[in-house]
Structure 1
Amino acid sequence: MLQVSHQSHPLLCALAAAVAWPAVRAARRRYTAGALGESRGSLQVLGDWMVLLGVLAVLRTAVGEVAEPSSALAGLAWAPLLTTVCRRVTYHRLIAARREAHAVRRVLVIGEPGAADHVVGHLASRTEHAYVVVGVVPVGSAKLECGAPVTERLGALAPAAHADDAAAVLRAAHEHSAELVLVAPGPRLPAERLRRLSWRLHDAGLPVALLPGLIDVQVSRIGLDATAGLLVLHIAPPVRHGVQVGLKTALDKTGAALGLVLLAPLFCVVAAAIRLTSPGPAFHRQVRCGQHRTHFTMWKFRTMVADAEARKAELERTGANEHDGLMFKMRRDPRITAVGRFLRRCSLDELPQLVNVLRGEMSLVGPRPPLPEEVDHYDETALRRLAVKPGLTGLWQVSGRSDLSWDETLALDLRYVDNWSLAGDLDVMARTVRAVVDGRGAY
C-alpha cells in the first residue's frame, strides 16, 4: 500500500509558495495596467498574503504535509514585505515617468465648455495621474468661442457643434489619437444622449469614462449598485468611530509617551541652547484651535525673540506676509533667532507638541492646528478641516509646508479629513522622516 510521506520538504514548500504567490496576485488583478504601480495601500498586500496562506493550506491537505507550519510561515513572511517594497519602488518610478509625460493615456474630454474647462484645469494641476488631455469636444449647440479658451490651451481644434454627433467625436478621437473618452455629464448631455453616444464609441473600440463630479474621494469609499436599471454610486462616510479610531488613539498615546521618554535628553540640550543664546523662556505656548474649534494651549520650543507676537502686527501692516492665505509666513522673518532657524529647519521645534498628543488635544498625524484669529475668517469649507484633531505632522508637512499656497494647503487637509485611514497615517509618518531631512518649506 502506497503511504504518503509526512516528512518536511522545505524546498518543495518554497517552490509551491513561489508559484502560488504571483498566481494569487494575478488572480486578484494586481498586475493589470490600471493597478500596476498605483498606490492602493499596504493592507492590500496583507490581504493577498492571507489568501496565499489559504491556498497553501488547501494544497497541503491535498498532497500531504510538505513543511512544518512554523518554518513555512517564517519563509512566507518575506512575501508581503518584499512585495510592499517593490510596490513602493514601482510607484515612485511610475510617478517620475508621468511627470515626464510617459506612462499616460491620451484623453478626449466631452462636456459643456465650463465643465470641460474645469476638468482640463484640474487634470493639468497635478502630474501623478495617468491622463493627458489631447482635445475637447464641447457639448450641445454652444458657440465655438465658448470652447476656444479650453482648446487654445490644449493646442487642439475642437470639432464642431454637438457632442452627441458620434461622427464628430470619433473624428476628433482619431485626429488626436485618443485612447479614452472622458465625459463630464450635464444638462446638455442627459442619460439617453449619453447612452447613444457610448454605443457608437464602444462599437468603434473606444472606452468611455464618466466623471461623477466628486473631488478627492478615495476609491475605497466608493461602491457601485444597479437599481431598476439605474447605476447608483454609493459613497461611504468618513471614518469617525470604530476600531480604526481606537487604534489611532492608542498609537497616539503610546507614541507620545515613548517619544517624551526617549527624547528627554534632547529636550534638555535644545532648551539649554535656547536659553543661552537669547533672552526668554525655552518653551513657547500659544492658543490654537483643535477639533470642533476647541481651544487648547500648544507647546513648542521658542524659535523667535521673546516679543515676537508684539512685532507681528507691525510686520503685517508693512505687508511682510508672503503667504497668500490666512497664515503668516516669511522666508526671512527677522524675529527668528539663529538657534530657532536651525530648529525649524530640522523640525525640532515641534517636538514639545508630544505633550499635547499625550493629553488628547492633538494627534500624531492630522491637519496643522490654526490660530483662533485664522479660524475667525474661515468659511464653511475651511471649517471642515477642524472635524478631526490637529496633528504633529500631516499631509501639509510632507508636501512642501510653507511653500504651499492656501488653496493647496486646504485641499490637502480636506483630503485627509474625508479619506482618513490608519494605513494613511502610517504612510504620512514614514514620509515625515524624508520631509524633515529634505527641509523644503521649513521656515
Structure 2
Amino acid sequence: MYAKVFKRLLDIIFSIILMPLFLILFVIVGIAIKLEDGGPIFYYGERLGRHGKPFKMYKFRSMKVNAPDWRLEDGSTYNAEDDPRQTRIGKVLRKTSIDEIPQLLNVLKGEMSFIGPRPDLPEHINCYNTNEMKKLEVLPGISGYNQAYYRNFASWKQRLENDVYYVENISFVLDVRIFFKTIERIALKRDVYLDFKSNSLEVVNSNVQHKKS
C-alpha cells in the first residue's frame, strides 16, 4: 500500500511545499549562472524512468556549455573535484547538491520520487541483467539508497545491486532512513567526489556533449 499509494501522495505534498524554495533558488542560481558565462540555467538529461520509459531530468547546469561527456570504464559518470568541465558556480552547486533541486519538477510531474534508485542513461537498459531490471519497477529518485550510504563510492554494478535491494525492501521506514542519511551526507559534504589518486578507475572520454536545452 505504501509503495503504490502513500509514497506518491507524499511526493506530491512535499514537492508542492518545497516549490517556493525552488523558485527562490531559480532566481538566485539563475542569475549566478547567467553572469558567469551567459549559458542556459538548466541542464536537461534524458534518463530511464519507471518501466524503462525515458524522460528529461532537470538540473541546474554545473558544466560549461558543450562540455564533453566523460565516462569511467564501468560506464559510470566521471566525477572529480578538479573536473575542468565544471563552472565556478557549478562547483558550489555540486558540492551542496543544489544542482539537483530542479528535480522537484520531475517529482511533481510523476516522473521521479524523492527517494528511489537514481536514473541511468537510456542506453544502460541494454546492460541490465534480468534481476537488475527490477530497478525500473519503481520511480527513480532524487536521492536513494546508493546516494545515502555510498554516494559516488560504489561501482555502477554495485549501485545496481543496491537499487534492486531497495526495490525489494521498499518501505516508509527505509525511505525515512535514506532521507536523513542523505541530509547527513550533504551537510558534511561526504564522498561528493571520487578520489582518482587512490583508485584504479580510468577515464574514457566520450564525444557526447552536454546539450544547451
TM-score range with shorter-chain normalisation? Answer: 0.7 to 0.9
| Cα distance change of structure 1 residues 329 and 381 upon mapping to structure 2, 3 Å threshold | farther
Candidates 230, 253, 260, aligned match of 2:19: 260
In structure 2, the partner of 1:327 is 76
Cα distance in 2 for partners of 1:244, 1:396 equals: 19
Q: 1:361 — aligned with what?
A: 111
2:176 alignment partner in structure 1? 426
| Number of the residue aligned with 2:163 | 413
How far off its partner does 1:244 sit?
A: 4.9
* 1:378 paired to 2:137: no
Q: Which residue of 2 aligns with 1:399?
A: 149
Name the counterpart of 1:299. 58
CA deviations 1:162-191 (Å, max 9, x no partner) are xxxxxxxxxxxxxxxxxxxxxxxxxxxxxx
User: Which structure ranks higher in relative contact order (CA pairs < 8 Å, sequence separation ≥ 6)?
Assistant: 2
1:15-73 CA-partner distances (Å, limit 9, x unpaired): xxxxxxxxxxxxxxxxxxxxxxxxxxxxxxxxxxxxxxxxxxxxxxxxxxxxxxxxxxx
Which residue of structure 1 lines up, in the alignment, with residue 197 of structure 2? none
Is the Cα contact below 8 Å between 1:345 and 1:442 reproduced in 2? Answer: yes
Residues in 1 aligned to 2:53 and 2:22: alpha-carbon distance in whole angstroms: 28
Question: 1:402 Cα deviation (Å)?
Answer: 1.5
| Alignment correspondent of 1:282 | 41
Which entry has the higher C-alpha Rg, 1 or 2? Answer: 1
In the TM superposition, what whole-angstrom CA distance separates every residue of 1:90-148 from its partner, at most 9, and x where no partner exists?
A: xxxxxxxxxxxxxxxxxxxxxxxxxxxxxxxxxxxxxxxxxxxxxxxxxxxxxxxxxxx
386, 389, 392: which is aligned to 2:139?
389
- Structure 1 residues 110-125: aligned runs within 5 Å: none
1:271 paired to 2:21: no
Equivalent residue for 1:200?
A: none
Conserved? CA contact 1:363–1:392, under 8 Å: yes
- Cα RMSD, aligned residues only: 1.6
Instruction: Count residues with an aligned counterpart.
Output: 192
TM-score in terms of structure 2 length: 0.84
Question: Structure 1: where are the runs of 5+ without partners?
Answer: 1-241, 316-320
Are the aligned partners of 1:368 and 1:393 in contact in 2 as well (CA < 8 Å)? yes
Q: Identity rate of aligned residues, in percent?
A: 36
Q: How big is the shift at 1:381?
A: 2.7
Shift of 1:377: 2.3
- C-alpha separation between the residues in 2 aligned to 1:394 and 1:243? 17
| Alpha-carbon offset, residue 416 of structure 1 | 0.4
Where does 1:29-428 land on structure 2 (aligned, <5 Å)? 242-308=1-67, 311-312=68-69, 315=70, 321=71, 323-331=72-80, 332-428=82-178
Q: Secondary structure at the match of 1:299?
A: strand
Q: Partner of 2:57: helix, strand, or coil? A: strand
The alpha-carbon deviation at position 243 of structure 1 amounts to: 4.8
- What is the CA deviation profile of residues 206-245 of structure 1, one whole-angstrom value per residue up to 9, with x for unaligned ones? xxxxxxxxxxxxxxxxxxxxxxxxxxxxxxxxxxxx2553
Quick one: structure 1 residues 279 and 251, their matched pair in 2 at CA, closer, same or farther if it must change by over 3 Å? same
CA distance in 2, matches of 1:286, 1:339: 19
Q: Distance in 2 between matches of 1:243 and 1:387?
A: 14
| Residues 323-375 of structure 1, C-alpha deviations (whole Å, 9 max, x = no match) | 45221223132211111111111000000000000000000100001111222
Equivalent residue letter for 1:341 = K
Are the equivalent residues in 2 in contact too, given 1:252–1:363 (CA < 8 A)?
yes
- Checking the alignment, whether the CA contact within 8 Å between 1:279 and 1:306 is kept in structure 2 is no
* In structure 2, C-alpha distance between the alignment counterparts of 1:279 and 1:404, rounded to whole Å: 35
Asked if the contact 2:132–2:161 (Cα under 8 Å) also holds between the matched residues in 1, the reply is no
Name the TM-score, length of structure 1 as normaliser.
0.42
